[in-house]
Amino acid sequence: MTIKQLKLFTVSYLLIPNILFILTWLNLIWATLGFVAAVFSFYSFWKNTTKSQEKVSALRLSKIDGSTIFYLFIFTLVLGVFFSLGNFGLGQSYDYFKHNTIVKELIKKPYPIVYENETRYGILNEPAILGYYMAYYLPTAIICKFIGMGLSNILLYIWGATGIFISFCWLYFLTPKNLNIILVFILFLLGATLFKPYLYAHYLLQNIVSLPIIQYFIWPSGISFNLINIHYSPQHHIVTTVGVFFVYYESFIRKDNKFILYFISLLLMWSFLGAFSVGIIAGFLVLYRRFANFFSLANILGGGIIIFIMATYFLAHFQDNRFSGFIWTFSDISGYLYNKPLISILALIGYCLLEVGIYLFYMYRLFSSKNTHNDKLILLYFCAAYFIISPLYRIGFNNDLAMRLISTIKILIFVLLISTYSEMLKSKISIKFLRFYMIFTVILGIFSSMTTLKWDKVPSIAESPTINKADIPQEIFLQYFAKKNSFFGKYIMSQESSQKNNN
């Protein structure tokens, strides 16, 4: 597999559910417009990629051989079983109540799925559309409409594992030649961070000391462990990893933004907040590259139309206020910020310094010592600013957004980190402490993962309840519904198909 083939594989994989959604959920005018724009942009991307000159010198190798692909494939399958993608293996996280229920709804009901007389938690009293990150669910559901529900768990496993496999291939290409690939994969899966495990010290020290404010400051970082992301929400892992890898390679290494907007538009249906956070990185790089090739027809036409469709779809969603808002409106530590301001400040400083602060310091020492690393130094400043600001969202806006912001920037920091470590192996800068720090990270990362991951018995897709039943699990939050009485519901969604839900 060459980098060109990986790029085409990546965009094809992300595009498929977007096409399926456009053709099955939208009215004739918007379905035609969206389909033509998406296919035209993909054709332009395919044509440009096959003719482009890739900078293979910046990659670990020019081509991943068949044996390595086989090992990555087996590694992905083992992880998939370990984390129970598709309800196999040790058991699933509670998130899969939601996953399996939504897949069942998508299999059994005609599209678009509308609930005309739905009441949810005494708040939702108007017609609603099933609305969530359906890119992870839709291909499995549509296939099972024709072959039955029996293979649905297997297909969901294959679809999720394919995205994880793509992220591993990108990681392999972007890893420097002189690094041990096993170490890179371990650090990548464990998050390459240190401070998060201290959160779980309360399991051991709960009778000695209570540190609630630290928990709320660093909670978003916890979910950013790739092991945890795969277990709880593989669709978010796919977007953050594949998204950052692709944008970093195209915009930063190749200095070409011709298809960046189109690429970001394909991420929205996978994870709206994940796409937003990857889009911040892409936006910075586009500005830094002075819009190099950005105003291409593929970007403006394909990217613009798909972003508009998905934006109207997700902006119609109901807000689940239980999980957003200022921290004192929903947490158990009301007033803590006011009563213990010093502890609050120390928690934030400690979080920033210990989470990735040491890595940022070593990267700065290297990038500022060589003129050839000016680009990476500027990117490092961006990462530092992004990382320091992002925890503030946790206490003042939306915890899901904070979680995706943290997850995404850590992927970019990790890409810079492995490049830095590779350079340090050849330089005079001492790396003894950095090596110790990385070993310590692995040990604490394993501890943190084992105290975080939970394997529960979850009903298979066929055994999951339907959303309009009274015994639906509370994992189906309001955020998984959109308003039918919205711009999307009135002018973009297919009305003919929605009538079938009433019969």
Whether the model pTM is above 0.85: yes
Instruction: Give the domain ranges of the chain.
Output: 3-487
H-only helix segments in 289-427:
297, 304-315, 336-339, 341-352, 358-367, 374-389, 392-396, 399-426
Distances (CA, A) of 432 to 109, 177, 362, 425, 429: 59, 20, 12, 10, 9
- The tens place of each residue's pLDDT in the chain, 503 residues long, gives 899 999 999 999 999 999 999 999 999 999 999 999 999 999 999 999 998 887 777 788 888 999 999 999 999 988 888 877 877 767 777 778 888 888 999 999 999 998 876 655 555 677 888 877 889 999 999 999 999 888 899 999 999 999 999 999 999 999 988 888 888 888 888 865 555 544 544 445 444 444 555 555 555 555 567 777 888 888 888 999 999 999 999 999 888 899 999 999 999 999 888 899 999 999 999 999 888 889 999 999 999 999 999 999 988 887 655 544 444 343 434 444 445 556 556 666 766 777 778 888 888 888 888 777 888 899 999 988 888 777 666 555 556 777 778 888 888 988 988 888 888 877 766 777 778 877 877 777 777 677 677 788 888 888 888 877 645 555 566 777 888 888 998 999 998 655 555 55
**Phi, psi (deg, nearest 5) at residue 301:** -75, -60
Cα angle 313-314-316, degrees, rounded to a multiple of 5: 75
320-338 burial code (b ≥16 CB/10 A, e <16)? beeeeeebeeebebeebbe
